[in-house]
Amino acid sequence: MRFKLIVTSIFLLSIVVLQAQKYENLALTPPMGWNSWNHFACEINEDIIREMADAMVATGMMDAGYEYINIDDCWHGERDSLGFIQPDPKRFPNGMKALADYVHSKGLKLGIYSDAGWKTCGSRPGSRGYEFQDAQQYARWGIDYLKYDWCNTEKLNANGAYLTMRDALYAAGRPIVFSICEWGDNQPWEWAEPIGHLWRTTGDIYNCFDCVYDHGTWNSWGVLQIIDLRNNKELRKHAGPGHWNDPDMMEVGNGMTLNEDRAHFSMWCMLAAPLIAGNDLRNMAKETVSILTNPGAIAINQDLLGIQGYKHGMINQLDIWVKPLQNGEFAVCFLNRGINEVDLIFNWAENPINDELSGKKADFVAEKFNLWNVWENKSMGDTQKPLKAKLAGHDVLMLRLTK
């Protein structure tokens, strides 16, 4: 009898594995939310997470589309006698289930963090060898989002490791957005679409607009460096509803200038990137709130076509980015990479749009588009005459083109 039970169990497990997949109909537009790491790093606890959920509602961010409150590294305690991970009892004395219930009561969703290795990047217990147990625990707690890191993964195959956790999440029976975070080292855009809902394309971001922070054995990247690293035409073909390129969480409100925050947010919108804030939501300047909740910029990011924008060209120190939208519309963003103000003169008739990936085109000689300034919330005329504007250093002019 015992032999039959073992055989039956193995058979049933094999069926689960064979039928496993990622949960569909999740992240059909780039996920929007908040993550604890960029501002708090390891200094987190359940009071902070509750207060962030409160602030997401009170500031209007939830109404603007943000829904995930994501706990990053360092929430972990030890595993119990059966191997199930537990939260740090000092930082999260009421447990994750109670915290998830509180976040859900606000109309929001709770995310959590783990690592494919033996230990997380913050030296807490990783999920290697415990993938199915951890997934079951997350499901019991009511978790909605998992960021899965890549520290301490010696001799692991990235595709296989993330596939294992995908199968574990599916077997646990709760739809959870799966965020692959191996920093683009293993070209996840080539294999991750059936595994995760988003995948990191670069190393960690840093709260500066144009710099590289050398940690000795690895680097953090400024906004411009992140944009330049891998956001090219080859990469964008892998993005779309349910599977997004992720250039890392945002640094809006973490110390850059207003111009730089606006440019940072605009470019993440143009790139169809997940909009995961990383600042202290409880103490935001009104300017920060206005950037994070700008309806015109968010609408460009959340456009249902899910087409990632691309670099259309350059004029001296200005990048010109284009993102095709629904109903034959386009977003066009002029990014001033330099620190000095420049005069922008752009002749639409000489710069037709022809996106080979999506097949979307705009012949500005044959058809007229109206120009809507997303940040100033006003019309700037149409494409029948050249666009003229002054553009401050490290700033953007972001336009929506409508017929």
What local confidence, expressed as pLDDT, does residue 230 receive?
83
What local confidence, expressed as pLDDT, does residue 9 receive?
41
Residue 353 CA to residue 361 CA, distance in Å, equals 5
What local confidence, expressed as pLDDT, does residue 11 receive?
41
pTM: 0.94
Model confidence at 16: pLDDT above 70: no
Catalytic position from the list 204, 246, 303, 355: 204
Above pLDDT 70, what percent of the chain?
A: 95
Q: Where are the alpha helices (DSSP H) in 237-358?
A: 258-270, 286-292, 295-301
Sequence-distant (≥ 6) Cβ neighbours of residue 394 within 8 angstroms: 209, 210, 257, 259, 260, 263, 336, 337, 338, 339
State the average pLDDT over residues 211-236. Answer: 90
- Tens of pLDDT along 258-288? 999 999 999 999 999 999 999 999 999 999 9
Of the pLDDT bands very low, low, confident and very high (cuts 50, 70, 90), residue 80 is very high
What local confidence, expressed as pLDDT, does residue 119 receive?
98
Torsion of CA 22, 27, 28, 31, to 10 degrees: -160
What local confidence, expressed as pLDDT, does residue 226 receive?
96
Model confidence at 5: pLDDT above 60: no
3 state SS of 259: helix
Q: Is 204 a catalytic residue?
A: yes
- Paired tokens of 132: 């199915």
What local confidence, expressed as pLDDT, does residue 232 receive?
74
Of the pLDDT bands very low, low, confident and very high (cuts 50, 70, 90), residue 7 is very low
What local confidence, expressed as pLDDT, does residue 347 receive?
97
Q: What is the mean pLDDT of the chain?
A: 94
State the average pLDDT over residues 172-179. Answer: 98
**Annotated domain spans of the chain:** 22-301, 310-402
The CATH architecture one would assign to domain 310-402 is Sandwich (2.60)
Catalytic position from the list 115, 134, 144, 149: 149
Q: Is 149 a catalytic residue?
A: yes
- Tens of pLDDT along 61-78? 999 999 999 999 999 999
Model confidence at 14: pLDDT above 70: no
Looking at 48-52, 148-152, 210-214, 344-348, which range is the least confident one? 210-214
The CATH architecture one would assign to domain 22-301 is Alpha-Beta Barrel (3.20)
Of the pLDDT bands very low, low, confident and very high (cuts 50, 70, 90), residue 20 is confident
Model confidence at 214: pLDDT above 60: yes
Above pLDDT 90, what percent of the chain?
A: 92
State the average pLDDT over residues 40-56. Answer: 98
Of the pLDDT bands very low, low, confident and very high (cuts 50, 70, 90), residue 12 is very low
What local confidence, expressed as pLDDT, does residue 343 receive?
96
State the average pLDDT over residues 156-164. Answer: 98
Looking at 3-17, 21-35, 213-227, which range is the least confident one? 3-17
Q: CA 383, 386, 389, 392 torsion: positive or negative?
A: positive
Sequence-distant (≥ 6) Cβ neighbours of residue 386 within 8 angstroms: 345, 346, 347, 348
Model confidence at 3: pLDDT above 50: no
State the average pLDDT over residues 88-115. Answer: 98
